Structure 1
């Protein structure tokens, strides 16, 4: 499965995500999520087919005005596909509200489906840990840089620092 948003994640972060995956099974014709529901999980299809669709609303003007809706087929998800990518954007936004994104489509199993699910809370937690890891690396590199600058100004500390650095190289 190729999730381009995860391509620049570290191995550690991806392993954390994999630890959060849970196997699920949907029988044929099960509605997994409906238009207007909060999206609380990502689904990674291993085996089976999902159908995603939304409703088109048409206003028909006759003597009695009526609102007609019809399903418009959008996409067929098969082995190796995934859905719920809205959660990736939601989880990576540090200022995102605690409210989950709302689905603009219905997802229904066309066949029996075996999949893995990744819950929104787990994705948010791993995404936050990833930001903390990057922030820690940035702070460490800045601290090392400042320490190196100070050592260059003070020759006696410089030789001691260089000997320490060679131990780690």
Structure 2
């Protein structure tokens, strides 16, 4: 990604604050934004299915300053042709502390692709 593209993406970033214990993403639900954590920490759990009921596992990954949540949206928006196939999260993510982050929403990503063609598509008719 060149500096100009990175600059265009940064223009769309919005600050977000999440309280301790807030659920940011639920497994199986569409990813609505990509987050870049600038302070605090989150925990990402893979759900356990038992008797048809999903619940968080006891093992988790800690996400801290400098890490991303939902970064798979960049790959998706670069490859999608319709925007109707929005990816879902495979993890449930909760804040273990208050979290400050920058968010890039799905709508902002779509706008960047359609109006600025940041992913060098062969034709805008694909979008």
For Structure 1 versus Structure 2, the TM-score category normalised by the shorter chain is 0.7 to 0.9
Deviation at 1:100, TM superposition (A): 1.4
Q: 1:71 aligned to 2:71?
A: no
Deviation at 1:127, TM superposition (A): 4.0
Following TM superposition, the consecutive aligned residue runs of length 4 or more in structure 1 with deviations greater than 4 angstroms are 66-70
Per residue, is there more helix in 1 or in 2?
1
Secondary structure, aligned partner of 1:38: coil
Q: Deviation digits for residues 129-151 of structure 1, max 9, x if unmatched?
A: 1244x76xxxxxxxxxxxxxxxx
Instruction: Name the counterpart of 2:111.
Output: 125
Q: How does 1:29-48 map to 2 (within 5 A)?
A: 29-48=21-40
Q: Deviation digits for residues 4-28 of structure 1, max 9, x if unmatched?
A: xxxxx12111111000000010010
- RMSD, aligned CA: 2.2
CA gap 1:94/1:101 in 2 versus in 1, 3 angstroms: closer
Runs (5+) with no aligned partner, structure 1: 1-8, 59-65, 136-169
| TM-score, normalization by structure 2 | 0.82
Aligned length: 120
Per residue, is there more strand in 1 or in 2?
2
Is contact 2:56–2:92 with CA below 8 Å preserved after alignment?
A: no
Secondary structure, aligned partner of 1:130: coil
Deviation at 1:74, TM superposition (A): 2.9
Deviation at 1:95, TM superposition (A): 2.1
Instruction: Name the counterpart of 1:138.
Output: none
Q: Deviation digits for residues 101-150 of structure 1, max 9, x if unmatched?
A: 11111110000001100011222333451244x76xxxxxxxxxxxxxxx
CA gap 1:102/1:121 in 2 versus in 1, 3 angstroms: same
| TM-score, normalization by structure 1 | 0.63
Which structure exhibits the higher relative contact order, with contacts defined as CA atoms closer than 8 Å and separated by 6 or more residues?
2
Is contact 1:36–1:103 with CA below 8 Å preserved after alignment?
A: yes
Runs (5+) with no aligned partner, structure 2: 123-127
Matching residue within 62, 74, 77 for 1:91: 77
